[in-house]
Structures are given as structure tokens and as C-alpha cells.
Structure 1
Amino acid sequence: MYVIGVDPGPLPGIVRLWLEYGAGPTHLLESEALQVTPRLILPTLNMLGAGDRSTVAVEQFVVGRRAARSSTPSAGVITRTMVGVVTNWATQNNLGDWRRSLRTRPAAEVKPWATDGRLEAAGLLEATKGMRHARDAARHALFCAVRDYGLPDPLSRKALL
């Protein structure tokens, strides 16, 4: 199965984790990371989420002081719109063998746990080097994989076995 993390915004980050899930312990098999433009979010999701069970872990847009300080006035509109597009994609009628689910969590819940140290231990820090939005997407994907699908916490002793 895949866990697809999405950091929405003017430069969206996307990370896909391929998990061995369901028969025995959950293992991370592979990961990919990229940043795209807003107009490429749907084609990218269609490509990454095709042909297998997928869960989309998207950062929830929270209106607050940080959103108000955004570099461009349109950034909030782009971000809110993208969250809607990703939500619709994840929850629309699934086609064929595609089965998708959605997890939305605020950055304030995910980022304190999904530290650079955890990303490093999971092999995601180097994969997202130079792509800060992809790195934030990796945080959401890793948090979801651990909390929702039983992937061992990369900093735990269980992960070292």
C-alpha cells in the first residue's frame, strides 16, 4: 500500500511511501519525493496513487497568524483550494482496484513528532534535501504510516530489529 503525504500550497510537496502492510509487521519498502506546481497536483496524484491501495495524508489548512504572514496574498487561497482538490481526489468514487482514504492533520500535531531526526532515521531526510515542502509532506506521510498503519517509529528499538 502507499501513503502519500501532501504539503499543499503554492509549491506543493509530495512524498509517497510504499509500505508492506497487512500480512505481518509493517515495513517501509521505498519512498519518492518531489515538489510540483499547483496545476500538476492532480496529474501527479493520479500517477502516484494508481493501481494499489493508497492513503493520502494532507496537511490541514489552519487559518492563523502564520497563514496571515504568508509571502503572497494568494497563497492562502491556493492552499485552501488545493486541500479541497486533494480531498476530492482521495474521497471520490474509487475506480477499479483503487482504494483510497484520507487523513488530515494540522502541522501543529505532526511537526513536533516528525522531527528531522525521525526523517533521517526513516531515510527521508536525504530524499527531501533541498525540497522543504517535500520534507513537510514526508512528515505527514511518516506520521500517518506510524500512527495509522503500524510502521515502527524510526527512533524506536523495534525499528532497529
Structure 2
Amino acid sequence: CCTVDNFRIDLIGPPQSPWNMSAANVFVAAFEQFQGLEMDLKIVKDAFFTRLKTLKQDFKLAKKPKNEQKSRNTQKRRQMRKRTLFTQRYDIALQDPCLQRHLELLGRLGVDRMSSDESDEEDGSGPVFRVRRPNWRAPIVGRWLQVFDSVNLKRRQ
């Protein structure tokens, strides 16, 4: 399908199309040669297809109207902030002996059950974030999660 010098992927067809399978083989061989290491080629190929899926999503999104692109990017940033918040809380629980007993419950809450936020760009100095507590979540759970945030803040000082 392609060569290292003329590398092309198919962003319109399915990720595992014959063209992309061939491109993956070209990529894996070139990557292994570039790194100069013997690697698990299945891992490299899986990483290639994971990246290809992201590129296909970005390509699809780029063809949509600007307001739809902006909305999707806002959702992605919000999800990333939730993931970061969860990871911080989980890491603090791993490090703090008093919080380790809460790891299982925190893990069961997961990323999607962290507080969300909305941002406004009111005064031009940057976004202002408003925390949105999920309607289903009891206020006591929010206070419980604030303990993790307080410990994190204290450790950073």
C-alpha cells in the first residue's frame, strides 16, 4: 500500500481495512528499525491502531461545523479534568495510610462520577470554572471527596 517514504493511512474506511493493515506493517517495521531495539511487535501494532482510531475521530470532527467542534472539545476537556481529579485523589489515597482503606470505594466511583464543571470566560482573564455536583450524588460524598483534595493541597504546600 505504502512505503516509509510515502506513508499513507486510510481515514475514511474502517481502522482494520486491508490498506491500514498494510500501513501498520510498514509502520511497525520502520519503528523497530528506528528504535534499534527488538520489541513486542503486537504492542507496537496495537498502539498504531489506537492512534489511528484517534486520528479518524479527529478527521471526522474536523469535517463538522465549528460549533459542533467547539462543543466536542469542551466535552473532551471536561472529561480530562475529571480524569485528572480522579487520578489525584486515587494517588493521594495510595500514599496516605489513613486514606488507603478508601481506595476500593474511590475506585468504584471511578472517573465518570467525579464532579464535573462548566467554564465561562467572563472577564477575559481566563476561564472561570463552576463545579457541578452530580444530581444523584449525596452531599456527604462530596464532603468525603474534599478530604482527598485537602490532603493533596496540604502535601503540595
Pairwise TM-score range, normalised by the shorter structure: under 0.3
Higher helix share: 2
Higher strand share: 1
Larger relative contact order (Cα-Cα within 8 Å, sequence gap ≥ 6)? 1
Instruction: Tell me the TM-score normalised to structure 1 length.
Output: 0.24
Give the structure with higher Rg (CA).
2
Instruction: Tell me the TM-score normalised to structure 2 length.
Output: 0.25
